[in-house]
Structure 1
């Protein structure tokens, strides 16, 4: 708690160093709305690419039998699509509370988008190997990729805790709580990676359980994007 207070006091004022100023220098700064618009495009492309790895039944195949054989790819697709969707909701919620963006926020956002756009690869790997001899390695790769993608939100909130002037005043009190809550994703997916060598299917099931918690176990996205009353 003392560290949190010290962080907040250190970030009460505007940036002093050259690395903390507006990312655009003397030019036009990047606004939260502009950053969200760019990020929305990356989220949409990553989510769309997922379905390309699911094979449609061939003309000479029985439809339901062919779809049953594709269940690993379909399961990985469903979990990852929801993960990307939830990440998009959390991203929208976070930047709804940001009033100005500094250079470090831009770099953190690029790192997050890099891991999000990478997710179709571990998803296709898990879908193609879940029933094979290398299923454990595929499940570890998948869970580790999920952990990396979710960890960026902890880094976002940590940065905002240290620099509360980047946030709307009404949103600053909830930053430390959001930082704590954001740890559930990376910790949960690391646990899924550790479970993968024992049971790859169980690892995917744990990832699915985390997704379900984020979908139904928390407040609706609309309520999380409202700023507290001043």
Structure 2
């Protein structure tokens, strides 16, 4: 049967592309901070180097969030390879997922700017809580797929494949919940674990399994 998901996939890909662009826009040197001390034209090489090195927290947050968005796009793209069509419920939940993904520049900028301040704990809680919300919404998305009793899926997709994807999302959500709880007691450790979480996600996700399943049929 012919797939009927092209429009929603195109729209979703556009949102992911915009989010990636917005993340990169957040990077840069705060010129106004320099101009409060002297004219921009008098900035020395050593002074600019200090500002560049001082931006490492923003770069770290950018890299981590880029990984979050990239992996979510990969999972989203591969899940849609399993679908023949959609329904209103799935479209609405997909819209909710995209809404939350589009929100990522806010926690990214927050943790990048406040990581080395006295507000560090709240910034990291905000960021790790956001990552938990992303995985929770992904579970909701897969629940919408499963609750369709296979109507939305291509004929060659097995129940085991869908179950495997769901189990991966449950594990990811549990780990994100643990990292979020750690943020209350050891914020920096939680942020490091959060970074490692997405490495773990990339290595253990079912994306390759999904791809192989579709390719073999």
Class of the TM-score when normalised by the shorter of the 2 chains: 0.7 to 0.9
Number of equivalent positions: 200
Partner residue, 1:122:
107
The SS at the match of 1:133 is: coil
Partner residue, 1:6:
none
Moved more, 122-131 or 197-206: 197-206
Partner residue, 1:39:
12
CA offset at residue 176 of structure 1?
1.6
The SS at the match of 1:99 is: coil
TM-score (norm 1): 0.79
Selected match of 1:150 from 126, 129, 135: 135
Contact 1:57 1:67 in 2 (8 A): no
Partner residue, 2:151:
165
1:176 aligns with 2:149: no
Partner residue, 1:85:
70
Q: Give per-residue Cα distances to partners, 1:44-67, cap 9 Å, x unaligned.
A: 111111122222386535354323
TM-score (norm 2): 0.84
- Mark the CA change 1:61 to 1:108 in structure 2 (over 3 Å): closer, same or farther: farther
The SS at the match of 1:170 is: coil
Moved more, 90-99 or 149-158: 149-158
- Mark the CA change 1:180 to 1:216 in structure 2 (over 3 Å): closer, same or farther: closer
CA offset at residue 218 of structure 1?
4.4
Partner residue, 1:198:
185
Instruction: Name the CA distance, whole Å, in 2 between partners of 1:94 and 1:199.
Output: 35
1:56 aligns with 2:67: no
- Mark the CA change 1:192 to 1:141 in structure 2 (over 3 Å): closer, same or farther: same
CA offset at residue 160 of structure 1?
1.8
1:224 aligns with 2:210: yes
Contact 1:43 1:88 in 2 (8 A): yes
- Mark the CA change 1:128 to 1:91 in structure 2 (over 3 Å): closer, same or farther: same
Unaligned ranges ≥5, structure 1: 1-29
Contact 2:79 2:210 in 1 (8 A): no
- Mark the CA change 1:228 to 1:159 in structure 2 (over 3 Å): closer, same or farther: farther
Contact 1:170 1:229 in 2 (8 A): no
Instruction: Name the CA distance, whole Å, in 1 between partners of 2:44 and 2:10.
Output: 43
